[in-house]
Amino acid sequence: MIKWEDKYLLGIDIIDEQHKELFRIAGEAFDLLKNEFYLDKYDHVVKIIEELKDYAVYHFKTEEEYMFKNNYKKYFSHKIIHDEFLEEVKKINLDDMDENQDEYLLSIINFVVDWIVEHILGTDKLYVSEESPA
């Protein structure tokens, strides 16, 4: 499972802390996947997905406010990427999970972790390296 590393730091404390929280949520999902004591993980997955959605909305708002305040030139394209992520999360169909809960949960974890890592190391690093003075 992916763990927080300093290579994900942007140098913006509030955003770095929020990125760490996204990693924590992904870790919680991974822990659930590995938990053999739950025969039916459905309710736990629903809770994690809701937490992910809510926290992503909160985090994206913070990040977008930062970019807007600092006149980031690619603000709108960055916002579109955030909106697309939220749309993908909304599309998660928990009815599909009943057949093979672990496999479905793993696909969600892989999607979220891959997206977070790619977004932080690629897209987010751009606004730090190109940010305009406030």
Per-residue pLDDT tens over the stretch 75-91:
999 999 999 999 998 88
Query: According to the model, what pLDDT value does residue 75 have?
Result: 95
CA distance 81 to 73: 15
Query: According to the model, what pLDDT value does residue 67 have?
Result: 95
DSSP letter assigned to residue 70 = T
Residue 41 tokens, joined: 């993980």
Query: According to the model, what pLDDT value does residue 3 have?
Result: 86
Give the Cα-Cα-Cα angle 26, 99, 93 (nearest 5 degrees): 55
Residue closest to 110 by CA, chosen among 87, 92, 83 = 92
Per-residue pLDDT tens over the stretch 118-133:
999 999 999 887 654 4
DSSP 18-68: HHHHHHHHHHHHHHHHH-SS-S--HHHHHHHHHHHHHHHHHHHHHHHHHHH
Contact (Cβ atoms closer than 8 angstroms) between residue 8 and residue 28: no
Locate the domains of the chain by residue range.
10-129
User: What fold does the segment set 10-129 form as a domain?
Assistant: Four Helix Bundle (Hemerythrin (Met), subunit A) (1.20.120)
Per-residue pLDDT tens over the stretch 54-68:
999 999 999 999 999
